[in-house]
Structure formats: C-alpha cells, structure tokens
C-alpha cells in the first residue's frame, strides 16, 4: 500500500529533483538574465518616451555616427554594422566553446573561449573609438540658442531655449534650425537674422552629459548610459570568460567531470549579444 502511494505522488514537483531538469546554478543564471533584461527594457522604453517627447529636436543617429576608421567622408551605419558583426561572431565562438565542453573536448573549449575573449576586447575597443568621436564632435560644432522665441516663416512660434542649431558648412554662414517645413526640409537662417538669433547663443562642440552638439542633450545622456551599461556587461563578460578560461587550463572542470561553468558564462555572453541587437535597432536604425 505504502509502495503504491509512493509511486503515485512521485512527480517532477515532489521534491528531491529539479522540476526544470537543470542545475541550481544554471537556473539562477536564467533568473538573473530575466531581471537584467527587464532593466534594459526599462532603459530602452524610457529612451523611446523621451525621444518622442522631444521628437522636434531629437538628433538622427545617421547624422551623428558617420565615421569609419581610415575612411573619409560620411559613412552612417557602417561602423556600427561592423561592431554588430564582431559581437555576433563572438557569440558563435562562445556557443562553439559550449559545444566542445558538452563533449568534454578540452582543446576545443580553450580555442573557442580564447577567441570569444578576443572578440569581446575588439568590441570594447570599437566602443571606445565610437565614444571618442562622439565626445570630440565635429570641427564646425554647433550653436546652442538661449531663452527666447523664433517665428518660423509659416507663422508658428517656437521657443529657442537651449535649442541646438547646426552649421550647414564649415564657413558658418548659415544655421540649420531643428524644425522642418511642409516638404520635410529644415528651415535655415543667415544674414542679419542669424546675427540676431545668435546674439546670446553659445558655441558647442562634441557631446557630454550637459550639452550635445548634435541635438537634445538627453540623446547624449541616454547614449552614454545605455551603451555604457551594455559596455560594462561586455567588460564583466570578458572578465568572467577569462576566469573560466584559466580554470579550463588548470583542469578544474575536467576534474569535475562537466563544463557547466562554460555553459553558464555562455548564457551571459549571449545575453550581452541579445541586448546589443536591441540597442542597434533603437539607437542606430530607427
């Protein structure tokens, strides 16, 4: 009788085994990733909200990130495309390291994990380069208007308080205002009108947390904060991968009989790639 009862209640949820058919460590890594994903969702939703709130004066990423190493001129999207490729590639090497670990193939884990670390470091370097160009800004810079109002040719009156207006070229004879006419072209000012408008204005170059030559300062703030927080994840991922790689060399996991630690840092690394997919879309494409 007791034997019968025992088998009847024995289920996945009766204790003693994981109902998720996975170890504690891996399960907790998944829970952490869900909470971290919600954190990033919060940031990106906040970004979307402010972007639409200041849609008039929000800069377009294709006018901000236009540089490419060793190339002159305008190359929007090209550099960030390269960064995305590097991160996807490092995700592939990571999943191959995990796959080698599942076969207890130590040499494979060593090679693929090392390549993942190299990919992560290249990505971090690229991000530093991108930040450097954003902080330094363009040669001509732009103008930040002071308190006041400006009447557009179609009659609409706009507040100029803190509005960023860019020079149309390096001769600084004409300013491009951040407002568009019916044909989707920006209004421009020159001559005496320009002199009147810029009487109390300040010259701005590059981007930091208080001012941004490309447009609304919140664009810079969100860019630094979200890509910075993502970069911090990449950095800690590289450190975790390094520690695990050292343990692989020492033979720690060989002794344990499984390479689950590689799978766990693998989950974290793919998550970092996943977040970049969203940052790429919301910051650079849309």
Partner 1 sequence: MEHQDESLRYFHKKTADEGAHTRKLVWRIFWILLAVTSLEILLGLYYKEWELSWNFVKTTFLLLTVAKAYLIVAYYMHLKHENSFLIKIIAIPYIVLAVYLTLLVLNEGIYSDLMERWLW
Instruction: Compose the 101-130 pattern: x for residues touching partner 1 by CB under 8 A, - for all others.
Output: -xxxx-------------------------
H-run or E-run covering 239: helix 217-250
Determine which residue in the list 66, 95, 110, 141 makes contact with partner 1, applying CB under 8 A. 95
Q: Does 24 bind partner 1 (CB under 8 A)?
A: yes
Q: Which is nearer to partner 1, 88 or 195 (CB)?
A: 88
Q: Shortest Cβ distance from residue 209 to partner 1 (Å)? A: 21
Nearest C-alpha neighbor of 159 from the set 56, 44, 22? 56
Is residue 76 at the binding interface for partner 1, with CB under 8 A as the rule?
yes
Binding residues for partner 1 restricted to 50-69, rule: CB under 8 A? 52-53, 62
Tokens of 85: 């490729």
The answer to whether 285 touches 253, Cβ cutoff 8 Å, is: no
Shorter beta-carbon distance to partner 1: residue 46 or 140: 46
CA-CA distances (angstroms) from residue 213 to 42, 136, 141, 229? 26, 10, 6, 23
* 148 belongs to the binding site for partner 1 (CB under 8 A): no
By the rule CB under 8 A, 99 interacts with partner 1: yes
Q: By CB under 8 A, which span of 119-127, 142-150, 234-242, 270-278 interacts with partner 1? A: 270-278
Structure tokens at 40: 């990033």
For 121, phi and psi rounded to 5 degrees?
A: -65, -40
The token pair at 139 is: 């040669």
**Minimum CB distance to partner 1 smaller for 95 or for 124:** 95
Given a contact cutoff of 8 angstroms between Cβ atoms, the answer to whether 142 and 166 are in contact is yes
Pairing of strands 174-180, 164-167: antiparallel
Identified binder of partner 1 from the candidate list 48, 125, 228, 251, rule CB under 8 A: 48
Nearer to partner 1, 54 or 225 (CB): 54
- Does 18 participate in binding partner 1 (rule CB under 8 A)? yes
Q: Please give the radius of gyration of the chain, using alpha carbons only, rounded to the nearest integer.
A: 26
Give 235's contacts (C-beta < 8 A, 6+ positions apart).
Answer: 124
In this complex, which beta carbon is closest to partner 1, that of residue 36 or of residue 146?
A: 36
In whole angstroms, give the CA distance from residue 232 to residue 202. Answer: 34
**Applying CB under 8 A, does 32 fall inside the site for partner 1?**
no
Stretch that binds partner 1, among 147-155, 164-172, 209-217, 268-276 (CB under 8 A): 268-276
CB of 142 vs partner 1, minimal distance in Å: 24
- Catalogue the E-assigned strands of the chain: 142-144, 149-151, 157-159, 164-167, 174-180, 186-190, 202-204
Give the binding site for partner 1 (CB under 8 A).
Answer: 12, 17-27, 30, 34, 37-38, 41-42, 45-46, 48-49, 52-53, 62, 76-78, 81, 84-85, 88-89, 91-92, 94-96, 99-100, 102-105, 256-258, 260, 266-267, 270-271, 273-274, 277-278, 280-281, 284-286
């Amino acid at each position: 009788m007791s034997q019968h009862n025992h088998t009847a209640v024995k289920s996945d949820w009766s204790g003693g085994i994981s109902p998720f058919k996975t170890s504690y460590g891996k399960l907790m890594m998944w829970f952490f990733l869900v909470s971290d994903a919600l954190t990033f969702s919060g940031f990106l939703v906040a970004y979307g909200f402010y972007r639409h709130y200041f849609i008039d004066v929000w800069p377009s990423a294709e006018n901000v990130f236009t540089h490419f190493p060793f190339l002159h001129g305008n190359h929007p999207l090209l550099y960030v495309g390269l960064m995305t490729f590097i991160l996807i590639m490092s995700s592939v090497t990571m999943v191959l390291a995990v796959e080698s670990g599942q076969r207890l193939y130590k040499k494979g884990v060593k090679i693929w994990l090392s390549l993942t670390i190299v990919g992560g470091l290249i990505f971090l370097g690229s991000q530093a380069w991108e930040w450097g160009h954003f902080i330094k800004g363009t040669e001509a810079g732009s103008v930040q208007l002071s308190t006041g109002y400006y009447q557009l040719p179609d009659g609409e009156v706009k507040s100029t308080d803190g509005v960023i207006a860019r020079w149309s070229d390096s001769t600084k004879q004409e300013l491009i205002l951040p407002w568009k006419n019916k044909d989707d072209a920006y209004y421009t000012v020159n001559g005496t009108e320009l002199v009147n408008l810029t009487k109390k204005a300040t010259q701005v170059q590059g981007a930091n947390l208080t001012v941004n030559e490309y447009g609304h300062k919140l664009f810079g703030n969100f860019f630094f904060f979200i890509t910075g927080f993502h970069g911090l994840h990449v950095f800690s991922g590289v450190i975790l991968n390094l520690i695990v790689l050292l343990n692989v060399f020492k033979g720690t996991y060989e002794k344990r009989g499984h390479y689950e630690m590689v799978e766990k840092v693998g989950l974290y690394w793919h998550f970092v790639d996943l977040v970049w997919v969203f940052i790429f879309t919301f910051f650079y494409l849309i």
